[in-house]
Amino acid sequence: MMTDMNYKAIINLVKEAGQFVFDEELKNSVNMKGASDYVTAVDLKISHFIKENLKVLTPDIGFMSEEEEGEITKKRWILDPIDGTTNLVYNYNFSSVSLAYFDGEKVDFGVIFNPFNNDLFVAKRGEGAYLNGKRLGKAENRDLSQCLIEFGAGSTKKQFKEENFSIAKDVFQNCLDIRRVCSTALAIAYVAAGKLNGYFERVIKPWDYAAATLMLDECGVKYSDWNGDAIQFEHQTSFVCGTDKAFSFLVETINKHHKD
């Protein structure tokens, strides 16, 4: 981990950027990147704001973002300026700013911030994960019947709807209930915090999960892609995570339905 990094300044930068969600002019400037795929001026403003400030704070570290992917350097910041843009557009206040530092091999530092309720997740590798300043313990390994499971339906990937919902049906029949927060970063962080017990999605990108995977690592939660391979941080992937019992069940259920 980089010991000379000003972590407090970076956390404050994410919190400051999050306040742009309350700018009605920015929020109401909406365009479509594709089918069911919104981008607002909030997304663009946050991306630019964080990128420019990180250049000052960490000039030797690269940058990739959902809204400006840039060159993939070995050491880089990975940003989702607004994870849950559709939620933002519809005033469904579960959206987050997610920022991770990737050192070329692993994520070493991550921040996820929901400005609507001020939930702030912070993690440093080997030093624990925190929610609003309180250290998170090891996630409880609940019996499946007592597990809340979130899944990403993939509004921009509806070609996978039959597979996604067949998996979700099996999961629903065996767990306590299904949830749809619809902010991937928040959902995965909630698994680390024990507010959810598992999560799966067919296609997500590094900025969706980079910071949150460190929360999982620090809270002892398992994760992989749908083929059981390690998660990487260069391109899109499938994703599944959960506490021990939930993870085993989700992997088994996905394997029943998933076709490459």
pLDDT at 3: 57
pLDDT at 108: 97
Domain chopping of the chain, boundaries: 7-135, 144-257
Q: Which CATH number fits domain 7-135: 3.30.540.10, 3.10.20.30, 3.30.200.20, 3.40.50.2300?
A: 3.30.540.10
CB 147 within 8 A of CB 175: yes
Q: Whole-prediction pTM value?
A: 0.93
The number of helices, as runs of H, and strands, as runs of E, in the chain is: 8, 14
Domain 144-257 part of CATH 3.40.50.720:
no
Kindly tell me the burial class for residue 111, based on how many C-beta atoms sit within 10 Å of its own C-beta (0-12, 13-18, 19 or more).
buried
How does DSSP classify residue 242? E
- Ramachandran region, residue 136 (left: φ > 0; alpha: ψ -120 to 50; beta: rest): beta
Interhelix angle 7-18/41-57, nearest 10 degrees: 160
Tens place of pLDDT for every residue, the chain, 260 residues? 555 789 999 999 999 999 999 999 998 888 766 555 678 889 999 999 999 999 999 999 999 998 666 566 689 999 999 999 889 989 999 999 999 999 999 999 999 999 999 999 999 999 999 999 999 999 999 999 999 999 988 666 677 788 989 999 999 999 999 998 889 999 999 999 999 999 999 999 999 999 999 999 999 999 999 999 999 998 899 999 999 999 999 999 999 998 76
CB 121 within 8 A of CB 222: no
pLDDT at 28: 86
Fold match between domain 7-135 and domain 144-257: no
Residues in the chain: 260
pLDDT at 167: 94
How does DSSP classify residue 22? G
pLDDT at 33: 63
